[in-house]
Amino acid sequence: MSRPLLPACACAALLLSGCLVPERFTARAAFQADGSYEYSYAGTAVHAVAAGQLAKGGKLVPKDEESLENQAATMKHDQDIGQAEYKGNARYDLSVEGKRQRGQALDLLGVLRVATDKDGVVTLAAGKLDDKEKASMAKLGIKLDGTLSVTVPISAQVLSHNATSTPSFFGLIGTYSWKIGSIEQRPEMKIRFKP
């Protein structure tokens, strides 16, 4: 007899609790001169608990599938969620867009975390996984295939980054971007904005 995977819960709890793991996606952040920013995520995400059940040779019974569909419906109540559709096989199609003011933190599925330190330096970084978490993702068959792009105003000072491509023509054209094809790749960037 199968137990329900999880009771339906709010989108923020799903996105922040680690239940959903990014898979194929495009994520973006665009900063303004005042340090405020907009962000987006479009792509698929895997429900880790359900994927674990499938990886162990189990299957999702109709009650499990219904629970996952209900979670998608619950997610749609979040104002940042443009789309949340359960596609089966423990996977969702997601579209997320939102805005934050200067200094407001963000954790978007671990793909994009934004934090500001006491000196006003903004750090963007992907979530770091320990060896156990990496092994767990491999067992679940989750393979990352995504891109992250970050736009910063010319007035901002980029202190450091590990982007795979950068803006050209004195920083006027293009974005800082990362092609993420494995869990070993961790985008990182530090920015200072004028007071």
| Predicted pLDDT at 11 | 36
Contact status, residue 93 vs residue 83, Cβ threshold 8 Å: yes
Give pLDDT tens digits for 129-181.
777 777 777 777 788 899 999 999 999 999 999 999 999 876 566 799 999 88
Nearest to 106 by CA among 91, 90, 127: 127
> Is 42 exposed, middle or buried, given 0-12, 13-18 or 19+ CB atoms closer than 10 A?
middle
| Predicted pLDDT at 8 | 32
48, containing H or E segment: helix 48-55
Distances (CA, A) of 72 to 55, 95, 131, 174, 190: 22, 12, 30, 34, 34
Task: Quote the CA–CA distance of 127 and 46 in Å, as a whole number.
Answer: 16
Give pLDDT tens digits for 19-61.
888 999 999 999 999 999 999 999 999 998 888 888 887 788 8
Whether 4 shows a pLDDT value over 60: the answer reads no
Give pLDDT tens digits for 98-136.
999 999 999 888 888 999 999 999 999 987 777 777 777
Whether 86 shows a pLDDT value over 70: the answer reads yes
Nearest to 94 by CA among 104, 85, 105: 85
Task: Quote the CA–CA distance of 4 and 179 in Å, as a whole number.
Answer: 36
13-27 in b/e form (b: 16+ CB < 10 A) is ebbeeebbbbbbbeb
Between the two ends of the chain, the Cα-to-Cα distance in Å is 59
Q: How many whole angstroms from its chain centre is CA 94?
A: 10
Contact status, residue 142 vs residue 135, Cβ threshold 8 Å: no
Report, as an integer, the average pLDDT of 89-96: 94
Name the E strands within the chain.
Answer: 20-31, 37-47, 81-88, 91-100, 106-108, 112-116, 121-125, 145-151, 157-161, 176-180, 188-192
- pTM score, whole prediction: 0.83
Q: What are the φ and ψ backbone dihedral angles of 136, each rounded to 5 degrees?
A: -65, -45
Give pLDDT tens digits for 9-21.
333 334 434 588 8
Report, as an integer, the average pLDDT of 80-93: 93
66-83 in b/e form (b: 16+ CB < 10 A) is ebbebbbebbeebebbee
